[in-house]
Amino acid sequence: MRDYRKLRAFELADQLAIAVYKCTSSFPKEEMFGLTSQLRRAAVSAPSNIVEGSAKSSQADYVRFLEISYGSVCEVEYQLSLALRLSYLDEDAATQVVAIANETGRVLNGLLRSLKSDS
């Protein structure tokens, strides 16, 4: 079993989830079951899949869960851009959260490339 807590990708994904929860708290109430929920679920999915993948015994399963995590980060990036264009987020808040998402994606992508080259 791998220790997900030692992964930079997990630390960043966890920061992303917290940042998304904070920034969506000011979204319009009518978006509670729309974009707010979608963004939060995608943001929580990223670290959750790293944790779940770390518990898998096979390298292939681990990689698959990291790929799902990466997809969730990409989903968050799009949804943040949508929230910005709908004026649910101001430019500064969006820039900060997108920066965390971008770094999370880069680190996850690097981890995936490393694991796939080891196979």
Query: 10-residue block means of pLDDT along the chain (119 residues)?
Result: 94 98 96 96 98 96 98 98 96 96 98 90
How confident is the model at residue 1, as a pLDDT? Answer: 77
CA–CA separation, 47 vs 12, rounded Å? 8
How confident is the model at residue 28, as a pLDDT? Answer: 95
How confident is the model at residue 118, as a pLDDT? Answer: 78
CA–CA separation, 57 vs 40, rounded Å? 28
